[in-house]
Amino acid sequence: MDIFNGIAQRLNALKIAFHYTPELAPESSLHPDELASIAHASPLRRREFAAGRLCAREAVRTLGVAGDISLPRGQFRQPIFPPGIAGSISHTDGMTCAAAAFARDYRALGIDIQILGRTVSEDASAQILNGDEMEWISIPDGILTVFSIKEAFFKMTRCLTDTPYWFDKVSVRRTEKSDTLICMYSTPAGIFEKETEFRRNDRYIFSFCTLRADEKLTGINL
């Protein structure tokens, strides 16, 4: 689990709390309003959802927020964190993690975890990768890396806009840092660029990006 300790340390240095669990959680741990939003899902999905809420609650508590914490689901299926808190949740193959920070520090966060070694179909690759990104096909787990980065970016930005968008609007480019790519999001107002970090070991890749409270998101952050 070294990767998760490293992630927690990196995020803590940015004043972001992080919590993870390799276990599903009982649905009895959900608040009634949380359970209502997942009532029609399979039992396994309800336990996965409960694990996400458990991690998110722990992350929020780590910030020092006390009391009863409920995280219902929003109109874009995003988790609604308590007032004054920004956060994000991700799952893969039984592993769940969540991050939370004060909204006075961050307007939005996006995290994503993927299990490595999965084969990505040609069709899926064609949806994930744009133009110059085709080089990632020949890199081991390269497509999953780009996918994870874009999913984290998507979660950070999606709730700030009423305009849905898809992978074709976001491209990545390398930086001098081996654990950071830049997401370039094309909006009618121009291209918004955002550094997105990732960490990987032989089993997982974890990506995250942050929008500081004072940062503008060109084109959609009016």
Ligand X SMILES: CC(C)(COP(=O)(O)OP(=O)(O)OC[C@H]1O[C@@H](n2cnc3c(N)ncnc32)[C@H](O)[C@@H]1OP(=O)(O)O)[C@@H](O)C(=O)NCCC(=O)NCCS
Work out how close the CB of 1 gets to ligand X at its nearest, in angstroms, rounded to a whole number: 18
- Taking CA atoms, 34 is separated from 77, 107, 128, 203, in Å, by 12, 23, 31, 30
User: What letter would DSSP give residue 7?
Assistant: H
> Does 203 help bind ligand X (rule: CB under 6 A)?
no
Question: Stretches 20-28, 88-96, 133-141, 187-195: which one binds ligand X (CB under 6 A)?
Answer: 88-96
CA distance 66 to 60: 8
> Does 91 help bind ligand X (rule: CB under 6 A)?
yes
Q: Give the residue, chosen from 65, 167, 180, 182, that forms a contact with ligand X under the rule CB under 6 A.
A: 167
Q: Give the residue, chosen from 78, 130, 180, 221, that forms a contact with ligand X under the rule CB under 6 A.
A: 78
CA distance 2 to 53: 23
Q: Give the residue, chosen from 170, 205, 217, 220, that forms a contact with ligand X under the rule CB under 6 A.
A: 170
> Does 210 help bind ligand X (rule: CB under 6 A)?
no
Residue position matching structure tokens 């007032």: 83
> Does 177 help bind ligand X (rule: CB under 6 A)?
no
Q: 18: burial class by Cβ within 10 Å (0-12, 13-18, 19+)?
A: buried
CA distance 39 to 35: 6
Pick between residue 13 and residue 180 the one whose CB is nearest to ligand X.
180
Q: Give the residue, chosen from 17, 30, 57, 79, that forms a contact with ligand X under the rule CB under 6 A.
A: 79
CA distance 37 to 208: 26
Q: Give the residue, chosen from 11, 52, 106, 198, that forms a contact with ligand X under the rule CB under 6 A.
A: 52
